[in-house]
Amino acid sequence: MGIQEDIKPRMRWWGWGVDGFDKPIKPAAVKILTDVCGMDIDANTPPPNVEDVKINPSALDADDIAALKEAVGDEFFKDDHYTRVMHTYGRSYPDLLRLRLGVLEIAPDAIVYPGNEDQVAKVIKVCEEREIAIIPFGGGTSVAGGVEAVRGGFKKAISLSTLRFNKIKEINKDAMTVTVEPGVFGPDLEEELGKHGVTVGHFPQSFEFSTVGGWVSCRSSGQESSGYGRIDKNVIGLRVVTPKGVLDLRDMPSSAAGPDPREFFLGSEGVLGIITEATIQIHHKPDVMVFDSYFFNSFEEGIEVFRELKQKDQLPHLARLSNEKETYFGIEQLGGGKLGEVLTKYLNFRGIDTPCMAVLGFGGGHVEARAEREAFNLKMIGKNCVRLGPTAGNIWVKERFTSPYLRDVMMTKNIAVDTLETCTTWDNALNLHKHIIHDMEAAGNAHGTPLFLFCHVSHTYQSGCSLYYTYFMNEKLGEEMQQWSDVKDAATMAMENHGGTCTHHHGVGQDHAPGLRVENGDLWTDFLRAAKKFYDPKGVLNPAKLQDGPVSLRARYEDDDPLVG
């Protein structure tokens, strides 16, 4: 099954998504950000015109260009201004900031679009011979510096787009698997699977603009992964083109044949090879999802209930728990006005003074899903919470993929917006949460820019949960990158020092490389470097990422092609 070939970028060059989905900040949220962060409601700093963005001249010579065109065909070699700008960064806050500043010093010298494994191998061979770095690029939604055209010691770099690898090769309903190429976008995959009544069930917030290759190479999690499983738990087969040859890791639901090589390439972010095919477990698609919501009186109480229910296998596959500030902001931003006032008064009357909202989703047949929802309510009897029905969930699911647009609107008002996440065991969750909040707020205050910071539990496991943070901060002209780096560093160090992972579902790239070393230790880092040397002897694949990323964020953002540890 083929999807119509389209190698045009799907997102606008300067921000998230496409035009037409930006929404104004609700008045109640404006008041919060004005009171807490000092937002200037009259500020207006739109992005520049793409024609005015300055990029580095291409370093490719005529022979380089001829060799690359021979590998992929003339029409699939692009070095025009717009395409180079589109492939310079992902969509992290520092990426968007630099795009808005309009000076891109490390744009790739060209973009190539191979359409089969033979062409990928030819591109790799050309780049090895000509000492050109190769940066794999899918949908461009990386928020960890994973697709940035960092040279890593090379003088030239190209982006290798996977968008011509856009075929859904087989839907196997006996094995309940789909075999798919890496350039297929989430909505295209789900549309085709939906015709057969099945789903991958992988819905990251980037779903509309991210590709299967990005999910697999970064060990992505989706909003329903607590039920369907993370993408790495659902991949049973891979094909990878490396500089040493093609690995064909056959479809196997399980094996005792030594360490699993699939695990090695999951999360490898293109530093060892280019994924050209993945076989992924699929699931029966529910006829409907119905929602419910409960309000706890504290984040602590909500986490304890989530832990108890998860360990009894009684938590539905979609379950999100917001802390006090996120609940407050959500009520103001999504509800606001009279609705917010009425809701707050009602919760206070029911004994919920500092509400923390849990949104739960139940999937299945029309009757079964509703029956499961009511059965779940029986399990909540005796818990210190108030049930408020499906409205919050219905609002959430309607907005589930649109939240990133808010960041672009905020940046126009000179408000920095970013997210980060971690994961830890249940017994450590509140301790870790406390330290992350304290250290991030202290970093913001050190710049004289208080944060409005909140959190939710986004994924649950038998042994623990993830904690997902969003924060807002007033930008100080000329200091924006240092502000962000200090807050990000504070969060990462808190995770390192208090038992959390440096990233739960956003990969490593460059921004999480300092935390990766602490988390997994020198022996593992050395092993990854040895594997890199084996599979990619010339080091051309996505250099200065993952195990070879910068030793600190300061090293990264003070020099766009940093020396690495």
Structure confidence by residue, pLDDT tens digits, 292-349: 999 999 999 999 999 999 999 999 989 999 999 999 988 876 655 677 788 888 999 9
Q: Which two tokens stand for residue 23?
A: 């929404």
- List alpha helices for 24-115, DSSP H: 27-37, 62-72, 81-86, 93-101
Q: Examine residue 376 and state whether it is found in any structural domain, yes or no.
A: yes
Judge whether 60 lies within some domain.
Answer: yes
What's the gap between Cα 255 and its chain centre? 30
Q: What are phi and psi of 345, to 5 degrees?
A: -65, -40
- Which residues fall within 8 angstroms of residue 83, CB to CB, at 6 or more apart? 9, 111
556 close to 550: Cβ distance less than 8 angstroms: yes
Residue 261: count other Cβ atoms within 10 Å of its Cβ.
Answer: 14
CATH number of the CATH domain containing 61: 3.30.43.10
400 or 467, which is more confident: 467
Q: Which domain holds residue 304?
A: 288-396
Q: Per the domain annotation, does 237 fall within a domain?
A: no
Angle (CA) 395 467 460, round 5°: 80
| Beta-ladder partners of 179 | 170, 279
Q: Which pLDDT does position 336 carry in this prediction?
A: 58
If we measure between CA atoms, which residue out of 51, 157, 56, 52 comes closest to residue 104? 56
Q: Is residue 72 in some structural domain?
A: yes
Distance (Å, rounded) from C-alpha 526 to C-alpha 244? 20
DSSP string, 111-176: EE---SHHHHHHHHHHHHHHTEEEEEESS---SSSSS----TT-SEEEEEE-TT--BEEEEETTTT
Q: Which helix (H) or strand (E) holds 290?
A: strand 288-296
Q: How far apart are CA 490 and CA 493, in angstroms?
A: 5
Average pLDDT for the chain: 94
To 10 degrees, the CA torsion angle through 488, 395, 199, 303? 50
Q: Comparing 13-17, 155-159, 398-402, 410-414, which segment has the lowest mean pLDDT? A: 398-402
Q: From 363, 396, 429, give the residue that closes a domain.
A: 396
> What's the pLDDT at 560?
46
The residue among 395, 437, 423, 303 whose CA lies nearest residue 358 is: 303
Residues 6+ apart with CB under 8 A from 216: 182, 231, 232, 235, 238, 266, 275, 278
Name the pTM for this structure.
0.95
Among 340, 372, 396, the domain-final residue is: 396
The answer to whether position 277 is within a domain reads no
Q: Among the listed ranges 8-12, 336-340, 490-494, 533-537, which one has the minimum average pLDDT value?
A: 336-340
- The domain boundary residue, chosen from 375, 396, 417: 396
Each residue of 220-257: pLDDT tens digit? 999 999 889 999 999 999 999 999 999 999 999 999 99
C-alpha distance from residue 132 to each of 149, 151, 547 (Å): 11, 8, 20
Distance CA 558, CA 311 (A): 45
- Measure the CA–CA gap between 224 and 275, rounded to whole angstroms: 24
Q: Give the residues across from 364 on adjacent strands.
A: 288
Whether residue 9 lies inside any domain: the answer is: no
Residue 245 within any structural domain of the chain: no
Domains of the chain: total: 2
Q: How many CB atoms lie within 10 A of CB 535?
A: 20
In a domain, residue 549? The reply is yes
Q: Is the pLDDT of residue 170 over 90?
A: yes
Residue 334: the pLDDT is 62
Residues 83-109: tens digit of each pLDDT: 999 999 999 999 999 999 999 999 999
* Residue 329: CATH number of its domain: 3.30.70.3450
E strands within 383-475?
A: 385-387, 415-425, 452-460, 464-474
